[in-house]
Amino acid sequence: MVAARIRGMARSHWLALYGGIVIAWGALYVMALPEDLRAAGAVYGAEFLQTLCVVSPDAAGFFGLVAMWLLMSAAMMAPTALPAFATYDEIGARAGTRFGALIGGYLAVWAGFSILAAAAQMMLTQAGALTVFGDSRSAALSGALLILAGLYQFSALKEACLSKCRAPLAFFMQHWDEGPLRNGLRLGAVCLGCCWALMLLAFVGGVMNLAFMGLATLVMALEKLTWIGGVITRPLGGLLIAGGLVTLAVAIV
């Protein structure tokens, strides 16, 4: 059974998906700003970095930010959904379903999220709450986002979405007749319900911070696994709330 699944995940559409994930991470690596330039920006100011063509709201524009967030979403979220993709591919092998339509529907949902996230980054940057890198420069914003993400870990909506991600077979069988595109949209919606608050922590950890992106991807992938997800979700929420409260307290002091 395991060997058959492994062979199935080596077919051309899977190789294309893996290639897309690798390309997305590679593009993010190229776009990420090295720590030494971040330090130089702190010393010399934003004008110094703008001369180096930094990917910022001013330099990239709204559509550039949308593209950046879409790359982030694809690179971070597609790996977390691999078990669900594999389940769909396995039960649809005999029906000749279009795997690409499923992926397209899934990414369409995250494209919508990317538009909203880019708009939020533009507004927060113009308000002076974010640096040109997309990092929070406001302890109040950082604390609020951490507490929001922590509280959401305990919400009924988060638990409902996670339950569907952890049982993809039951999820797809329930909606199978709707076809691959609508199944992809549904899967994208429940993944968004699982992960939107953690994704917004990019404003705290750094929008183009590869270390944050890698850690967040790992956490979100583990949360969707039945055998460990239920163990880490609520403790993670507690840690995020505590981090938010400490951030706010330090700012007040």
- Calpha distance 217→151 (Å, rounded): 19
- For position 18, what pLDDT does the model report? 92
- For position 54, what pLDDT does the model report? 47
- Calpha distance 25→74 (Å, rounded): 9
Residue count (the chain)? 253
DSSP state of 130: B
Contact 162, 173 (CB under 8 A): no
* Mean pLDDT by groups of 10 residues along the chain of 253 residues: 52 88 88 60 51 51 88 95 91 76 95 96 90 86 96 97 94 91 96 96 89 94 90 96 94 75
Q: What is the secondary structure of 56-105 as a DSSP string?
A: -HHHHHHHHHHHHHHHHHHHHHHHHTHHHHHHHHHHTTTTT--HHHHHHH
Residue type at 169 in one-letter notation: L
- Summarised one tens digit per residue, pLDDT across range 27-71 is 888 777 555 555 555 555 555 444 444 445 555 678 888 989 999
- Calpha distance 194→81 (Å, rounded): 11
- For position 183, what pLDDT does the model report? 95
Task: Name the 3-class secondary structure at 17.
Answer: helix
- Calpha distance 216→212 (Å, rounded): 6
Contact 221, 79 (CB under 8 A): yes
Contact 133, 54 (CB under 8 A): yes
- For position 208, what pLDDT does the model report? 79
- For position 94, what pLDDT does the model report? 67
